[in-house]
Amino acid sequence: ETAGLFVSGGTMANTAALRMALSRTATWDLPGEGLQSPERPRQLTIYMADHEWHVSFTKAVDLLGLGRNTIRLVPSRADFTIDPVALDAMLDADIAAGMTPFAIVGHAGSINVGAIDDLDALAGVAERRGLWLHVDGACGALGAMLPELRHRYRGMERADSVSFDAHKWMGVPYECGVLLSRDPAMMRRAFGVTASYLHEQPDAELERYDFFDRGPQMSRGFRALKVWMSLRHHGAEGYRGFFRQTIDCARHLHALVEAAPDFEVVQPEPALYIYAFRYNPGGLDDAALDALNTRIAEAIRMRGVALVMTTRVRGRVCQRFSIANHRTTRADVTAVLEAMREMAT
């Protein structure tokens, strides 16, 4: 049995997932006492890769009252995926130090480079230790729809919860986050409420599924409609085509960057449609390169060429392409790269 809920986006999906994780771990009266309980263990902790702290988790732990120190950053490997061996070691050390781990977060398409963690390894660690595994697939969970990529997602089916944003890769209008869970009972334990003006009806069989009992909101828009309509219109195969088109653009960009003497590769071949790299004509130090890349992205944006933003990858300012729109072509990508070179000089 599984359960699903439409939410506003990745932030609320991650917030809800962590609240479910907390509900499963809590040995005290969580609804009544919250984190104020005198019986709460000293430091509840969550684990994720160190290379990209997605701001949705900052917002989630802020909102949940856990605090940002609750997030423990695990070393990532050269391909930007979390190191499961380092995770295991950190868990041992933290438990020895008196902390209480309760959740592991894996990424299926990280925000800056589109990395997909080894979800199977994470599921193994989570199961062995009784921790909640949440897969944040805001950017990339839907890539599992592609048979040729499915092996990259092995283990996602063992996660306790998975989230993705239909308003990203699926092109559905804002706001349209999706939260899935293999534990519907935990959804109700985390979010169940009652009130005299809500639950007094004897015809309970008519109200078997109250969405307000499964997530943070009461009043809710009809988000399912736009997803259903988009799926009816494009079909799963249509979406597979869109996904392949955007991934092809990202790979094309990678090939161009690899071949260009004045651009620098900073990540392996892209797993998905997100790709970071930087302009580097040589002879400049890191500070100058950071400033130059910031200026290039600004010029590209201000002149209306494209909406490219910078990010930091291992501390260096990089160009970040997020080719989520299937109408983007190889020619567009080539043109933006050429415009960047022009604006740099």
Q: Which is nearer to a second copy, 146 or 344 (CB)?
A: 344
2-13 b/e with 16+ CB inside 10 Å = b? Answer: ebebbbbbbbbb
69 binds a second copy (CB under 8 A): yes
309 binds a second copy (CB under 8 A): yes
Binding segment (CB under 8 A) for a second copy, from list 9-17, 79-87, 116-124, 257-265: 9-17
- How far are the Cα atoms of 36, 38, 95, 234, 325 from residue 30, in angstroms, in the given order? 9, 11, 21, 44, 42
Query: Of 153, 83, 145, which is closest to residue 114 (Cα–Cα)?
Result: 153
Give the bridge partners for 99, in sequence order: 43
- Whether the CB-CB separation of 145 and 174 falls below 8 Å is answered with no
Residue with tokens 């002149």: 303
Tokens of 345: 């000089």
Q: Which is nearer to a second copy, 127 or 211 (CB)?
A: 211
Site for a second copy in 168-197 (CB under 8 A): 173-175, 177, 190-191, 193-197
- Kind and range of the H or E run holding 124: helix 119-129
- Whether the CB-CB separation of 254 and 265 falls below 8 Å is answered with yes
Tokens of 291: 């400033």
Residue with tokens 């020619």: 331
298 binds a second copy (CB under 8 A): yes
Question: CA 258, CA 143: separation in Å to the nearest integer?
Answer: 24
Of 25, 34, 94, 231, the residue at the interface with a second copy (CB under 8 A) is 34
Compute how many residues bind a second copy; rule: CB under 8 A: 75
Tokens of 181: 């869970």
Q: Residue 237, preceding bond cis, omega within 30 degrees? A: no
Closest CB 242 distance from a second copy, rounded Å: 19
Q: Which is nearer to a second copy, 225 or 284 (CB)?
A: 225
Site for a second copy in 119-138 (CB under 8 A): none
Binding segment (CB under 8 A) for a second copy, from list 34-42, 81-89, 228-236, 239-247: 34-42
Question: CA 88, CA 79: separation in Å to the nearest integer?
Answer: 19
296 binds a second copy (CB under 8 A): no
8 binds a second copy (CB under 8 A): yes
Of 4, 33, 207, 342, the residue at the interface with a second copy (CB under 8 A) is 33
252 binds a second copy (CB under 8 A): no
Question: CA 342, CA 255: separation in Å to the nearest integer?
Answer: 19
Closest CB 202 distance from a second copy, rounded Å: 6
Closest CB 120 distance from a second copy, rounded Å: 28
Give the bridge partners for 132, in sequence order: 103
Site for a second copy in 144-173 (CB under 8 A): 165, 167, 173
Of 1, 96, 151, 202, the residue at the interface with a second copy (CB under 8 A) is 202
Site for a second copy in 212-251 (CB under 8 A): 212, 216-222
The 96-115 contact track toward a second copy, x by CB under 8 A, reads ---------------xx---
Of 92, 294, 303, 342, the residue at the interface with a second copy (CB under 8 A) is 294
